Structure 1
């Protein structure tokens, strides 16, 4: 028995080791709050699951054929106390879990700005086949498949898509958000610790979906300034011709930096894809 328990413990530790770089390893306030909701919901559900399992085993043990003390009641039909117990506990569980989810969904509204003294960083995101384009409108630079943000500053994302729907997701920073052609969605995230975090598309979008990933580099303000200086010195320019070439389907695209970006480029992409969508539906 001891060996069995030890083996179960080691298996549990091995399983938890796989949670690194995922939703159970938060690195920002949004991800941490979502993890707290997950733990609260788990605790509430365990409050009914564990007693139910114990009661099932207890009933099976007590009413075994060899137990002569167990009462045999073939004519049993109804018990008000049992009905109250059977319905009250699930109802309370649903109310508690629903309350946690309701409060959390309002507190963690993706559009709600994160309270901070530092000025938020604006990043405009375009999902392409099969790559991610990040535009920094205030800094005048853009990148492909790599996102650099300063630690401790909120990041305000505006997201859209060039074709099929995708889902922008950085598990260690928080909420995922869909990107749709001709539409703009908003998301606010923040990194509290320096590091490189995995970003991905959480919505199947075709042949190159498995390679539609990007790296999020959370760096200090000093390193962020250095990165911006280096990005502005890049020779590539993001204009209509560069975007047309970039929008062509491609797989496992290497990270790229554009030193300059055409004015209001994100808005132009949104309007263009919206017009294309309307033309396809007519």
Structure 2
């Protein structure tokens, strides 16, 4: 009977081992100093919590066995109701662990702040004062990654590289929906949001070919939104840059607008030259000709608004980064005329596909820009009560 129980137990364990054999433990065995510190934080926090969990679980089984009905030697005291020593142990141990976890969390939150420039290469080496970080500008597209290297004037799609032991400063944004930039071997994930710039400071300490991915669901091609991150020695990195310049094409605004269109399983691409100011135009959502940049709009708002004359700016602020009018993948009725994914019409849309209450896209066409206003935003001026409505 005992052998049969052991055999059944092994049968239950075998599928678990097979499942774990496919796990990638890169998070617990990273190659970058920031990821290593995050790994250590996970380990320390887990151990501290296990100091409570393990004794409680063990004592639960011990009490069940010690005070079982068949144990006549167990002391039975129905009048017992309080023990000062036991109360001290029950409350002081968790309190001490909570204080320790709080202190570790507070210190780590500031030390591992992704916006904070690095102060060390690894646990044994500080960063020399004259060291200049490698700047990489990241754009999350549908469904691919675009990397700019402004110091080298190049860009790549779904592949990036960095020299070992050189600090990296990532500037991250998105052209479409919210996304998340994540290289598990390098550092934690950072959100990428359209019209906003987030930052990440990290360093890779080992050579290797690592995987990067999107860690935030963003649509049809999300599961294939992956890229390769190469950790190279300085000589190898210089060769990689030279290869990009030799095999790459030009990336200007027209090329970017084509690249921006949603696509799945996009191959690696190299761009040997990049139009000046392209990343800032992507960040400010004004790559398309005639659009107003967000920083221009914010400047107008800061100056008090554009007054009633600025109504024509509305059309300049329209932003269709998924090219719905070109029947992009995933776009549905009524934006493209593609069949809806549900029999029920969307809220605010009638059976014919047009918006109710006159609030369709064509209604905005009445705000046509007058001649002579195409060159830029309306002049900034303060709104006053004396302004008249058009």
- If the length of structure 2 is used for normalisation, what is the TM-score? 0.66
Once the two structures are TM-superposed, the CA of residue 9 in structure 1 deviates from its matched residue by: 9.3
Give the aligned partner of residue 184 of structure 2: 171
Is the contact made by 2:248 and 2:269 (CA closer than 8 Å) also made in structure 1?
no
Give the aligned partner of residue 199 of structure 2: 186
More helix by share: 1
Change (3 A) 1:235 1:199: closer
1:241 counterpart (249, 254, 260): 254
CA distance in 2, matches of 1:9, 1:190: 39
Indicate the larger mover: 204-213 or 8-17.
8-17
Once the two structures are TM-superposed, the CA of residue 235 in structure 1 deviates from its matched residue by: 4.3
Give the aligned partner of residue 162 of structure 2: 149
CA distance in 2, matches of 1:197, 1:19: 15
Once the two structures are TM-superposed, the CA of residue 15 in structure 1 deviates from its matched residue by: 6.8
CA distance in 1, matches of 2:13, 2:102: 32
Residue 73, structure 1, aligned to residue 73, structure 2: no
SS of match in other structure, 1:87: helix
Deviations 1:90-111 (A, max 9, x none): 2222221222222111111111
CA distance in 2, matches of 1:48, 1:13: 27
Residue 90, structure 1, aligned to residue 103, structure 2: no
Higher RCO structure, 1 or 2 (CA under 8 Å, sep 6+): 1
Is the contact made by 1:21 and 1:198 (CA closer than 8 Å) also made in structure 2?
no
Once the two structures are TM-superposed, the CA of residue 72 in structure 1 deviates from its matched residue by: 2.7
Give the aligned partner of residue 266 of structure 2: 253
Change (3 A) 1:270 1:157: same
Once the two structures are TM-superposed, the CA of residue 147 in structure 1 deviates from its matched residue by: 0.7
Is the contact made by 2:175 and 2:285 (CA closer than 8 Å) also made in structure 1?
no
Is the contact made by 2:179 and 2:218 (CA closer than 8 Å) also made in structure 1?
yes
Is the contact made by 1:21 and 1:171 (CA closer than 8 Å) also made in structure 2?
no
CA distance in 1, matches of 2:246, 2:173: 27
1:102 counterpart (86, 101, 106): 106
Give the aligned partner of residue 232 of structure 2: 219
For structure 2, list consecutive stretches of 5 or more residues without a partner in the other structure.
120-126, 287-292, 299-313, 320-390
CA distance in 1, matches of 2:177, 2:83: 56
Give the aligned partner of residue 222 of structure 2: 209
Change (3 A) 1:16 1:30: farther
More strand by share: 1
Give the aligned partner of residue 174 of structure 2: 161
Give the aligned partner of residue 46 of structure 1: 50
Once the two structures are TM-superposed, the CA of residue 16 in structure 1 deviates from its matched residue by: 6.5
CA distance in 2, matches of 1:40, 1:49: 14
Indicate the larger mover: 78-87 or 124-133.
78-87
Q: What is the aligned residue count?
A: 280
Once the two structures are TM-superposed, the CA of residue 10 in structure 1 deviates from its matched residue by: 8.3
Change (3 A) 1:216 1:63: same
Is the contact made by 1:27 and 1:172 (CA closer than 8 Å) also made in structure 2?
yes
Deviations 1:110-135 (A, max 9, x none): 11222323431110000011110000
Give the aligned partner of residue 130 of structure 1: 143
